[in-house]
A and B are shown apart, each in its own frame.
Chain A
Amino acid sequence: MTYSANIGLKYSNSSVQQSFTLSEVNNKQIGLIRSFGSLGPNWDSYGANIPSSKAISKAISFAKYLSDKGIDIFFAAPTPDGDILVELTNGGASLEFVFSSLDDDDKIIGSFNNEEHCEAAINDTTKQAYLKWLICPNGGCPDF
């Protein structure tokens, strides 16, 4: 199946690309996410937890999923709890995927122009719905 979204036409600063190839950006981001595993406790100087291997593993799996869809990661960082945040952007819209060290605590936060817009637990349905909201807000998205 080929993917030819209507992206890039309306969002000149989009982090979304139109290719299925594993991008250099996501390869670098996967390396960066892996490197969070080497952080020690208190890496933020405020008592942050060591990023959990579970959260790192989930974030890397998601990065590979995004690569399959031709979507580049914009930003990734650990949270003070040891979770991993993966951010995608498209114009003024952004999605923050937070992969938790806890079971069933992963969440997606959608924002527009830096104002929080919506939030949901991550599952296959919400993941696809939020990605569609980001990539093709006016509809016409292919199935992920």
Chain B
Amino acid sequence: MEDVLISDDDNVLRRVPTFLPNFIKPDGTISSLAFSKKRDEDGLSVDLERLTTLAITILDKSKFRLRRINVGIVKNDINGGLDVIHKPVLNNNAHCLITGNITGSKQKQLLKFSEEVVV
């Protein structure tokens, strides 16, 4: 796999479940669970937008929505030691991790600074 440098201008994508379970609340807002990770994970999985397509990343439009967040915002605005690193996995060279201490407060900020992507 190629060594990929991630710049502050890059964007990353995160799937949000909308079927069962549905992370969209009754008022139309999205739960910050959309940016939560498991306790034992090294980081929050995202896809680097320039290495994928929206159609590939969303997997299934009937079950997921996509949120986009800028890497510079993750690293500089939300800050708190968050970083984005390239971590390719089998069949997904675009896979990255948002690393650092992703607290509940950070989850809410990640959600706040992300935007809906129309696929």
Seen from chain A, the residues whose Cβ lies within 8 Å of a Cβ on chain B are 35-36, 39, 43-49, 74-75, 77-81, 85, 87, 96, 109, 111, 114-116, 119
Contact = CB atoms under 8 A, between A and B. Distances in A.
Chain B interface size, as a band, is 20 to 34
A51 to B, nearest CB: 9
Given A75-B26, A79-B36, A80-B33, 12 more contacts: A43-B21, A44-B15, A45-B59, A47-B45, A48-B38, A74-B25, A77-B31, A81-B38, A81-B39, A85-B31, A116-B103, A116-B108
A115 B108 contact: yes
B22 interface: yes
29 contacts: A35-B20, A36-B21, A39-B21, A43-B20, A44-B15, A44-B17, A45-B17, A45-B64, A46-B45, A47-B41, A47-B45, A49-B38, A74-B25, A74-B26, A75-B25, A77-B31, A80-B36, A80-B37, A80-B38, A80-B41, A81-B38, A81-B39, A85-B33, A87-B31, A114-B112, A115-B105, A116-B103, A116-B104, A116-B108
A77 B22 contact: yes
Contacts of B23: 77
Contacts of B31: 75, 77, 85, 87
Interface of B: 15, 17, 20-23, 25-26, 31, 33, 36-39, 41, 45, 59, 64, 103-105, 108, 112
Contacts, number: 57
B21 A46 contact: no
A87 B91 CA distance: 36
**5 nearest CB pairs, A to B:** A116-B105, A77-B21, A80-B38, A75-B25, A46-B45
B104 A77 contact: no
A106 to B, nearest CB: 14
A47 B38 contact: yes
Nearest to A38: B20
Contacts of A114: 108, 112
Nearest to A114: B108
A45 B46 CA distance: 11
Task: Kindly name the residue among A44, A74, A81, A87 whose own CB sees the greatest number of chain B CB atoms within 10 A.
Answer: A44
Contacts of B112: 114
A116 B45 CA distance: 23
A39 B20 contact: yes
